[in-house]
Chain A
Amino acid sequence: MSIPEVKEKWSARVSEVTIGATPAQGGTRARTVTIGGAGGIPFLSFDGALPHPPAIAIDVLDKQPVGWPKPLEEVYGDVWADPVQWARRAKELGADLINLRLTGIHPDEGDWPPSKAVEIVKAVLEAVDLPLIVWGCDFPEKDQRVMPKVAEAAQGERCLLGAVSQTEYRTLTAAAQAYGHTLIAASPCDINIAKQVNILVTDMGFPLSDIVIYPSTAALGYGMEYIYSILERGRLAALSGDKLMAQPVILDVGFEAWRVKEARADEEMADAWGPLAYRGPAWEAVTATDLLQGGADLLIMRHPEAIRAVREAVGQLMQGDGK
């Protein structure tokens, strides 16, 4: 018996963004990473091609983190006082990109001067040849002083810089434009705000094709479904031709997943929930893979077991797709 055709007739695709630049392109990266390009609902070969597998960036902080749970300490504890060594570890663990967070520049976290941030970014770029994502500290006045310097120091490397928002976008957009970087556009849980940020940024002359959307992230069991639906709605809009929603999406999975009780509570919950050593990575892996079904192109992650599971899942889901 023949069954009805169920492929949707999409009129557009998600745009592609390439992060990093090789020597031939004016940078020093060993390779670049391209994300986006999806022409259908995630991982359905019959619905539309997915040219690039979702990429994974591994988190590196500029200084020793506070309060990271034991499963993460076991992986990074010996290197996390030094961002360069930490970045090397991230590469060993199979990162596609390094996700560097400048936390020490925050007034409450050390108030480091721009020069120190620049020094760290340069050292990481020198030590590890993967494409780089760099986030400010989310304290606008300080980020405005630091991020232009960072952008300048990394000129030619085509980093992904974060994040511009509805209210704070001018300085970082100008810096990304001047020094050839791509941009993360943040929009808390709201598609209309995502579009608005894209309009503001492109009004300054920044190309839409160099933007990655950050719709905020929630952990499994802690509001994940809201983000899942925002991803689905965004993907449907993109495939239906809405150019302002057609940018690939980055999600901060590791940060959110390792914040919640299920990924932190140790002995006291072991009987009810099983050992943290397995439970924590599972929480991160499932947060990631659930959200991948909504539509995500770049995941920031932390634990190697979670990363391995996501890679295996993506490998299976991409069978018959890809380059």
Chain B
Amino acid sequence: MALTGLEIYKHLPKTNCKDCGFPTCLAFAMKMAAKQVSLDKCPHVTPEAKAALESAARPPIQLVTIGADAQELKIGNETQLYRHEEKFYRPTLLAVRVWDTLEPTALSARLEAIAGLTFERVGTKVGVELVAVDNASGDAARFESLARQAVEVTGRPAVLMSAKADNLQRAARALSGKRPLLYISDPQQALAAAAVAKAENCPLAVRAESLEALAELTSKIAATGLEQIVIDPGARGLKGTLEALTRIRRAALKNFRPLGYPAIAFTTAATPLLQVVEASTYVAKYAAIVVTDLIERWQLLPVLATRQDIFTDPQKPVAVQPKLYTVGEVGAESPVLVTTNFSLTYYSVEGEVEASRVPAYILSVDTEGTSVLTAWASDKFNASTITKALKASGIEERVAHRKLILPGLVAVLSAGVEDESGWLVQIGPKEASGISSYLKNQWKN
């Protein structure tokens, strides 16, 4: 974890030469502890001291990079057990699995399906970011060819999974420069796989039968100089996996280095819906990567929604800029809908307005990123905030009419808004899902 100034000072040359721009080494150390200056400003620090400081300053969970260039993905560096304390920083990566034992047609179909696994939610694109290539056949040539094909067709970085270090090497070479995550399922081959990972400049995921064995294994691998490690506690099923993921997170946050790596979890339930539940649970509870066999869109959407929810910043709601938005080719007769600037609220409305194909204005009132009822209950969405936003938006120069549509949930505001703004209020539906048919069938200018 973060070092104190004194701890840093111990490793500095203590000559007070001022080359760093500070009067003393101690002053420099204090600034460094406050993260206002970095170690490279001291030209005299020894390589050993540098290594010691870097390793001591390493976050409790190692940052690991998978993929390269535009496809680079990072996991690890988490600092909390509970999201309300700060936030969870790096959303769990989802990997959908393919096996090199599949028939060619089934294989292509599956890869195509994975390629299409992206969705639009709350104004952002979300989806599956990895393809997990399983060397179920044990054959090196088949594995290599599937690895190439999977990355090419899905356009995603790969998790290469095999029990054999040699096979991993072949597939990793085939994807040279693309930095796949290598996953060695046989703990006996983990050290051989670590050598491959080092040579191919790839991160490595290792599995062991118990957390104790896993800690031993990662220590041996780290001693070879490979720090880009991902850990699989070996447990399978909801209960064992949940407990193992929690133990790992707790031990890591106690600065127990051998388990201070991002964790990978696998869904294995027999029924599809239960696998959805499993994947969502691991996303909420500390998995950095979830490998799943799920591939249907209805299965992945709730997992992705769980991820969006759990990884939002609990301190500040996701908000859109409060202003006047337009959807489609608006004109002087287009309807004006009023909503808040909570992202979730705004995009729920925008999506439905778009679907209606009725060009419209959406006035997003500044409610400090809160939903319609939350903002109403805390007095941020009321006759005067709505009127103020309306007048400031310039809408009165853009439309010829004076009619606005309020969310159905705040029908009680209509008299007040009419009085204060001089506009006529029409009450829209309570749920955004009703907006499309409301605009098409009920809204009359």
**Interface residues in chain A, defined as those with a beta carbon under 8 Å from any beta carbon in chain B:** 1-4, 6, 41, 43-47, 188-189, 220-226, 228-229, 232-233, 236, 259, 261-262, 264-265, 268, 272-275, 278-279, 281-283, 285-286, 289-290, 293, 305, 309-310, 312-313, 316-320
Contact = CB atoms under 8 A, between A and B. Distances in A.
Interface in B366-400: 371, 374, 377
B281 A1 contact: no
Contacts of B301: 262, 273-274, 279, 282
B256 A3 contact: yes
Contacts of A1: 212, 215-216, 219, 258
Contacts of B312: 225
A278 B250 CA distance: 36
A293 B239 contact: no
A222 B344 contact: yes
Contacts of A305: 273
B242 A3 contact: no
Nearest to A189: B374
B433 interface: yes
B322 to A, nearest CB: 19
Interface in B232-281: 237-239, 242-243, 246-247, 250-251, 254, 256, 258-259, 271, 273-274, 276-278, 280-281
Contacts of B433: 261, 264-265
Contact of B247 (A6, A228, A236, A312): A6
Interface in B194-249: 211-212, 215-216, 219, 237-239, 242-243, 246-247
A46 B303 CA distance: 27
A285 B298 CA distance: 12
A273 B216 CA distance: 44
Contacts of A223: 344, 371
Contacts of A290: 280-281, 284, 306, 309-310
B302 interface: yes
Contacts of A2: 212
Given A274-B296, A317-B239, A309 B274 contact: yes
Nearest to A264: B433
Contacts of A281: 273
Nearest to A313: B277
A268 B377 CA distance: 34
25 contacts: A1-B258, A3-B215, A3-B259, A6-B246, A6-B251, A221-B122, A225-B310, A228-B309, A232-B84, A259-B431, A262-B301, A272-B297, A273-B119, A274-B298, A274-B301, A278-B296, A278-B298, A278-B299, A279-B301, A282-B299, A285-B277, A286-B306, A309-B273, A313-B278, A316-B237
Given A4-B251, A285-B273, A225 B309 contact: yes
B83 interface: yes
A225 B314 contact: yes
A2 B251 CA distance: 11
A293 B237 contact: no
A43 B212 CA distance: 22
Interface in B69-84: 82-84
A1 to B, nearest CB: 4
B306 to A, nearest CB: 6
B305 interface: yes
B246 A41 contact: yes
A281 B301 CA distance: 13
Nearest to B309: A225
A172 B359 CA distance: 49
Interface string B121-138: 110000000000000000
Given A4-B256, A290-B284, A316-B237, A221 B310 contact: no
A225 B277 contact: no
B141 interface: no
A129 to B, nearest CB: 30
Interface string B426-439: 00000111000000
Given A274-B298, A293-B285, A309-B276, 5 more contacts: A4-B256, A223-B344, A228-B309, A286-B280, A290-B310
Chief secondary structure at chain A's binding surface: helix
A284 B134 CA distance: 32
Which of A225, A233, A281 has the largest number of chain B CB atoms within 10 A? A225
B247 A46 contact: yes
Contacts of A229: 82-84, 314
Nearest to A275: B298
Given A45-B243, A225-B309, A313 B238 contact: yes
Contacts of A44: 242-243, 246
B359 to A, nearest CB: 19
A221 B251 contact: no
A320 B246 CA distance: 17
A43 B219 contact: no
Given A228-B310, A273-B301, A233 B84 contact: yes
Nearest to A8: B250
A318 B212 CA distance: 24
B124 to A, nearest CB: 12
- 4 nearest CB pairs, A to B: A274-B298, A221-B305, A6-B250, A225-B309
Which of B246, B273, B285, B297 has the largest number of chain A CB atoms within 10 A? B273
A3 B211 contact: yes
Contacts of A293: 281, 284-285
B352 to A, nearest CB: 8
B280 A289 contact: yes
Contacts of A319: 239
Interface string B278-301: 101100110000000000111101
A279 B216 CA distance: 43
B290 to A, nearest CB: 14
A1 B215 CA distance: 6
B308 interface: yes
A259 to B, nearest CB: 7
B339 to A, nearest CB: 15
